Structures are given as C-alpha cells and as structure tokens.
Amino acid sequence: MARSGNAAGNLGGVGKFTELRQRLLFVLGAMIVYRLGCYIPVPGVNPEAMLQLMESQKGTIVDMFNMFSGGALQRFSLFALNVIPYISASIIMQLMVQILPSLKALQKEGESGRRKITQWSRLGAIPLAMFQSAGIAIALQSSGASNGIPVVYAPGIGFIMTAMVALTAGTMFLMWVGEQITERGVGNGVSLIIFAGIVAGLPAAVLGTLEQARNGDISALAVIAILAIVLLFTYFVVFVESGQRRITVNYARRQGGRSAYMNQSSFLPLKLNMSGVIPPIFASSIIMFPATATTWFGQSGSSGFQTAMQKITQALSPGEPLHMILYGALIAGFTFFYTALVFNSQETADNLKKSGALIPGIRPGKATADYVDAVLTRLTAAGAVYLVLVCLLPEIMRVKLGTSFRFGGTSLLIVVVVVMDFIAQIQAHLMSHQYESLLKKANLKGGSRGGLARG
C-alpha cells in the first residue's frame, strides 16, 4: 500500500514537471520566433538611412514604440508594429463595452460573450494596423537621413502597399503567437511579447551605460546610484503591485434547525493599482505627440508654424518642468478614468446583494456601492501617486546623473508586472498538479481498501 502511494506521488511529480517543462519550452520557442521575425526587413527600405533616422527620433513617441518592439521599428522589420494595434483595439473595445448597453449585456453572458468581444478586438486590430502601417510608410517616403540619403529606395504606391501588407500580416501573426502562448504555454502571451521586446534592448542599454562610464561621460558613483535606484524601484513596484485592500464581507448561510444561521466571512480584494500600465502608456503617447509631429511633419509647414512647434517641443522635452507637470497630471487623470472603466462599484454592490453578502455596518444596495466607491477613490489616489513617482523619478535620474539609460518608469513597470504574473501562473500550475496528485493518491488508497474489504 505504501509503495503504491509513493509510486502515485512520484508519477504525479514527474508529470507535473514534464508538462511545465513542455510549456516553458513552448514559450521559449515562441520568443525565439518573435525575435527572429524582428530581423526580417520589409523590402524597399535603406537600413543605414533608417538607423540614422531613428537616432534623430530619440525622446519621441517613435523611440518609445521602437523600445516596445524590441528594435524592430528601427530595422523596419515585419514586426515593427508589434502588438500595439491589438492593444489599442482591446482598449477601444473596453471603452465601447462601458458606453454601449448591448456590449455590456453581451459581456455579462459569460465566456461566450467575452469570446465575441475578443474576436471583435482582433478584427478591429486589422484596420488599425493598416492605418498605422500606411502612416509610417508615407512618413518614411518624405523623410531622409541626416546626410540627405532617402530612407525609401523607390517611393510610391507600390512601397506603401508592400508596407501595409507586410506590417499588418506581422501584427496578425504576433496576435496568433500570443494566443498560442496563453493556451499552450505559461502566462499572458501578448504581455510576454511586449516584455520580450523591452528586455531585448536591456543588454545594449547596460553596455551603453558602462561605455559612458569608461569614457568618463558619467562617474562610477553615478553607475552605482543607477543600479541602486533600479533595484529600489523594482522592490517598490513589487511591494505596491502585491498590495491589496481587503474589505470584509459576511455571507449569511442557513445552518439547519429552525432559525439557525451561520455567518461566513470572506473579503473583497481591491488592488492599489487597478489600472495597470495603461495610464503611463496613454500619457506618454500624448506628451510625446508634439515632438513627433514636429520631427515628421514640421518641415512642410510655414516658418512660423515650425518655430511654434519647436518651442512646444523644447518645453515638453524630458526633464523640463512643463513636461513633468503635464506628464504627472495626465497619468493621474488616466488612472482615475481607466479605473472607473474597469471597476463598477454599483455592479459589485448588486452582486453582493444577490449572493446574500453584506459589508459589516453598511446597508446593502446603494450604501454599499457608495462605501466601495469611497474606498476605491482613496486607493486610486494612492495608486496615481505611485504611478507618477515610478514614471517621473527615472526621468529625473537620467537628467540629474547625465546618463542616456533609456529604460524609464513605464518599461520598468511593464517588466516587473509581467514577471510577477508569470511567476504567479507557474506557482498556480504547480499547485493545481499537486492537488491532482493528492486526489489520485486518495483514490488509490480508497480503491485498495475496498479491494481488501471485498477479499
């Protein structure tokens, strides 16, 4: 009997690690495919002129998208757009769900409704990818490197159509790869693709910082300070993202007898940062738009327009006071806005009332909704301050220490959050297999006892 139990446990352990190893190998293989695709260029672009053009885009929204794509944009490869169109379509669909009652009712249908909304998000990513690829191709045709060499060898409708087909197909392929990672691997596939794109530039950024220290551009003390601040920020992000505000909830359950009831306590978890990384991404896109518009389209306007755009660009440059104020205000505003979209206090109160649950000292219904909304408002205010600190202090560090280390708060936040989610899913996978092995062991023992009894 003991041998059969030990054998079942060993088989469960072997199966547990075998399946997990297969899933991790699948994720690794998908990441290799993604990185290989980042080096397959779209035909018709001069690679040297493209690199020189991207060097002139430092500090603009183009540079941020290039970082998210893992350098695919500066090579103008098939994956230059990454999964940004799909993320944009998903955010737009989330907004539409909150606005249109028909979509909100569809979301409440359960898994089937969510699948339809996800499918519409995929379809919505196609026109967005076509629009963005056409805009990039048209802008490249009118751009040139610093030495006057054109970026596009043969401008025209042929190049635009080629770029639209290639970049849109690359985005669709990455969407499929992300879904395969989610189903057959570990973690959220789309998040892991963005994570891989950001981390791919980490070695070059570290080597660039060390090269600056070797050349005397920055001091060794500044390098140590950068390392300490990055480690401190990582710990701070992990600490805050793991934090929860637990609201006690009591469930009244009939125990038996005439009028005997037993209160079962639980809690309603509310995260400090419920909006995730969406507010910094939105704020970065808006705050960098003037600089991007000046670089790409400012040359076609009048001299007065060019001068005005250059002044605005200078005022909104990283490290400038106006940039810090507007960036922080946009992050805080988007934090409240997006949290209101993803969490409905009245709907939560209605669900608690339907399940027979109540918050101690708070009446069900509107009073519960007002209480949850007040708690969520305070949490969101703290979360907004947290996001502003994480996103602004790295920029201040770059300005004060005089280093061009390109990883800011948004990229650091994405990396840490994705790693935390990845580790949590691995732990959940191991835990589920542990429970399965325990159940199998219990069934084997029960079957053996029955056999002995029958004998």
Q: Quick: pLDDT tens for 418-450.
A: 888 898 888 888 887 676 666 666 655 555 444
| Cβ 165 vs Cβ 173: under 8 Å | no
- pLDDT of 53 reads 82
Summarised one tens digit per residue, pLDDT across range 224-256 is: 887 887 888 888 888 988 888 888 888 765 455
Own/partner pairs for 339-346, CB < 8 Å, 24+ apart? 339/274, 339/275, 339/376, 339/380, 339/383, 341/94, 341/95, 341/98, 342/94, 342/274, 342/275, 343/274, 343/376, 345/369, 345/370, 345/372, 345/373, 345/376
Strand partners, 264: 251
Could you tell me the two tokens for 401? Answer: 């220490």
| Cβ 66 vs Cβ 200: under 8 Å | no
AA letter at 414:
I
Cα separation of 24 and 184, whole Å?
9
Confidence of residue 12 (pLDDT cuts 50, 70, 90): very low
Summarised one tens digit per residue, pLDDT across range 299-311 is: 555 566 667 767 7
DSSP 8-state assignment for residue 91: H
Residues 6+ apart with CB under 8 A from 313: 290, 291, 294
Q: DSSP 3-state assignment of 11? A: helix
CA nearest neighbour of 287 among 313, 256, 266, 311: 313
Using alpha carbons only, give the angle 447, 450, 452 rounded to the nearest 5 degrees: 110
Strand partners, 331: none
- pLDDT of 9 reads 47
* Structure-model confidence comparison of residues 2 and 87, the more confident one: 87
E strand or H helix at 244: strand 244-256
Helix axes 220-242, 409-454, angle to 10 degrees: 50
Transcribe 351-407 into DSSP letters. HHHHTTEE-TTS-TTHHHHHHHHHHHHHHHHHHHHHHHHHHHHHHHHHHHHT-----
- pLDDT of 132 reads 86
- pLDDT of 24 reads 92
- pLDDT of 396 reads 72
Mean pLDDT of 380-385: 92
Mean pLDDT of 202-218: 80
Residues 6+ apart with CB under 8 A from 218: 209, 212, 401, 402, 403
Mean pLDDT of 21-36: 92
Q: Report the share of the chain in percent with pLDDT over 70.
A: 79
Cα separation of 365 and 357, whole Å?
11
Please report the sign of the dihedral spanned by the C-alpha atoms of residue 252, residue 254, residue 255, residue 260.
positive
Out of 97-101, 199-203, 211-215, 395-399, least confident range: 395-399
- pLDDT of 385 reads 92
Out of 1-15, 77-91, 404-418, 435-449, least confident range: 1-15
CA nearest neighbour of 261 among 354, 356, 349: 356
φ and ψ of 317, to 5 deg: -70, 145
In this structure, what is the dihedral angle of CA atoms 62, 68, 72, 78, given to the nearest 10 degrees? -100
Residue with tokens 């087909």: 165
Candidates 1.10.3370.10, 3.60.110.10, 3.40.50.300, 3.40.50.720; CATH matching 26-216 = 1.10.3370.10
Transcribe 287-315 into DSSP letters. HHHHHHHHHHHGGGS-HHHHHHHHHHHHH
Mean pLDDT of 53-65: 74
Could you tell me the two tokens for 129? Answer: 């990818």
Confidence of residue 11 (pLDDT cuts 50, 70, 90): very low
Summarised one tens digit per residue, pLDDT across range 117-172 is: 888 989 999 999 998 888 888 888 877 655 667 888 888 899 999 999 999 999 99
* Structure-model confidence comparison of residues 282 and 130, the more confident one: 130
Confidence of residue 348 (pLDDT cuts 50, 70, 90): confident
E strand or H helix at 261: strand 260-271
- pLDDT of 407 reads 58
Residues 6+ apart with CB under 8 A from 448: 1, 4
Mean pLDDT of 405-428: 81
Cα separation of 69 and 53, whole Å?
17
| Cβ 34 vs Cβ 193: under 8 Å | yes
- pLDDT of 51 reads 84
- pLDDT of 439 reads 61
Residues 6+ apart with CB under 8 A from 188: 178, 181, 182, 418, 421
- pLDDT of 272 reads 86
